[in-house]
């Protein structure tokens, strides 16, 4: 199985997960054209994608989903609550629903939703030994429960707390980012991996803020705090970051 990070940041999120049996996009928060072009920069194509899964209804996760669903005649999976919030933006699509309490399948690929703490019915996903968790103000009990079983994680490392506090955002926005329903900081992402990522071999740090973080800050925090040996990579906000093999942890 392989993960390709197509876009990651507060300016748009999308990754491709491919296995023998199925290929899914997790989120589609860029325009359809942009996602197609970034996929092709990694030698991938929308033609091979079986479905789009949505973590929540915010536009940096949803904006291209409707177009891609119509253009390639593929379904979009989300909770009923996310559909209620995003339906105007998604327009006419083949919508399928899942419950946060139950795993579901796309062909033979088993997908386990993992509740996050962010927005109405927001979640991450676990597929085999891969976890994708972005947009969560705090590490949820469910995330803690699945983390020891994962070898690879795409994890939000959104901001440096000091940069948020000292930065230009209005008070209410700073409060929301730092709240339990906002975003995960570098230091909290670190702590989560340190404490629960017992079998992790690769961490892809994603959903970096353009104003409240830098790749250097995220790297510095991880190098200083995470003592255990594993690879980590800070995902790019501007282009596709690359593809990684999950099963053998062999990098490409």
Contacts with Zn ion by CB under 5 A lie at 58, 60, 135
What is the DSSP code (8-state) at residue 50? -
Closer Cβ to Zn ion, 6 or 109, answer by number: 6
Instruction: Give me the least distance between CB of 55 and Zn ion, in Å please.
Output: 8
Instruction: Give me the least distance between CB of 61 and Zn ion, in Å please.
Output: 6
Question: Would you say 109 and 19 are in contact if contact means Cβ atoms under 8 Å apart?
Answer: yes
Closer Cβ to Zn ion, 69 or 117, answer by number: 117
Closer Cβ to Zn ion, 18 or 60, answer by number: 60
Closer Cβ to Zn ion, 133 or 244, answer by number: 133
Q: How far apart are CA 225 and CA 47, in angstroms?
A: 41
Residue pointed to by tokens 């940041």: 9
Closer Cβ to Zn ion, 135 or 160, answer by number: 135
Q: Is 212 helix (H, G, I), strand (E, B) or coil?
A: coil
Instruction: Give me the least distance between CB of 207 and Zn ion, in Å please.
Output: 6
Residue pointed to by tokens 């919030």: 85
Instruction: Give me the least distance between CB of 13 and Zn ion, in Å please.
Output: 6
Q: What contacts 130, CB < 8 A, 6 or more positions away? A: 1, 3, 17, 150, 151, 152, 153, 154, 246
Question: Would you say 228 and 27 are in contact if contact means Cβ atoms under 8 Å apart?
Answer: no
Q: What contacts 22, CB < 8 A, 6 or more positions away? A: 50, 51, 106, 107, 108, 109
Instruction: Give me the least distance between CB of 201 and Zn ion, in Å please.
Output: 26
């Amino acid at each position: 199985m392989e993960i390709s990070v197509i876009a990651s940041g507060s300016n748009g999120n999308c990754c491709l997960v491919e296995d023998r049996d199925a290929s899914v996009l997790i989120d589609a928060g860029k325009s359809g054209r942009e996602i197609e072009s970034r996929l092709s920069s990694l030698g991938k194509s929308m033609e091979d994608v079986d479905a789009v899964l949505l973590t929540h209804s915010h536009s940096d996760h949803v904006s291209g989903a409707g177009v891609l669903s119509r253009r390639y005649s593929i379904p979009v999976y989300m909770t009923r609550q996310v559909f209620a919030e995003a339906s105007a933006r998604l327009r006419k699509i083949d919508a399928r629903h899942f419950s946060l309490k139950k795993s579901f399948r796309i062909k033979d690929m088993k997908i386990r939703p993992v509740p996050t703490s962010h927005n109405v019915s927001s979640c991450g996903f676990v597929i085999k030994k891969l976890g994708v968790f972005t947009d969560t103000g705090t590490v949820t009990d469910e995330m803690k429960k699945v983390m020891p079983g994962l070898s690879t994680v795409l994890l939000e490392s959104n901001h440096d707390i000091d940069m948020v506090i000292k930065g230009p955002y209005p008070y209410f926005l700073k409060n929301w980012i730092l709240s339990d329903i906002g975003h995960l900081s570098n230091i909290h992402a670190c702590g989560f991996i340190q404490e629960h990522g017992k079998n992790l071999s690769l961490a892809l740090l994603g959903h970096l803020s353009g104003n409240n973080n830098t790749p250097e800050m995220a790297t510095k925090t991880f190098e200083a705090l995470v003592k255990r040996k594993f690879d980590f990579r800070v995902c790019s906000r501007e282009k596709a970051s690359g593809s990684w093999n999950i099963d053998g942890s062999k990098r490409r």
